[in-house]
Amino acid sequence: MTDAKTRIDETVKANDVVLYMKGTKEMPQCGFSSRVAGVLNYMGVAYADVNVLADDEIRQGIKDYSDWPTIPQLYVKGEFVGGCDIITEMTLSGELDTLFEENGVAYDKDAADKIRAANA
């Protein structure tokens, strides 16, 4: 388990934004992963995607690492942000914009506004 924890820690610290998900950002393999990847893709956020289905150690390891039971999991600047429901709520409330702005993560503000307008 140490190997998985080390690999996760290195990935999370080496990338400004990381999404641990089922599948890839180009081809998500579950609805929750698809929703979060879709938000990030639409907002033009540059992020690393890690397919937990490709590595059982990482699939369990990420749950232990964050002490969070579900996937997807989003990390910004080394910090765990949340899963699908939290990211959805943060997107709609504007909190995700603020998080990106505070951490110097580039994103398309107009796209974020369009997501909120479409869900108002």
Mean pLDDT of 81-101: 97
Mean pLDDT of 88-111: 97
Cite the annotated binding site for [2Fe-2S] cluster by residue number.
30
Residues 6+ apart with CB under 8 A from 119: 92
Please determine, for residue 1, whether its predicted confidence score (pLDDT) is greater than 60. no
Phi, psi of 23 (to 5 degrees): 95, -160
Burial of 86 (0-12, 13-18, 19+ CB in 10 A): middle
For 69, the 3-state DSSP assignment is coil
Q: What is the pTM of this model?
A: 0.95
Compute the mean pLDDT over every residue in the chain, rounded to the nearest whole number: 96
Mean pLDDT of 41-68: 97
Cite the annotated binding site by residue number.
30
pLDDT at 2: 62
- Domains in the chain (CATH in brackets) are 2-118 (3.40.30.10)
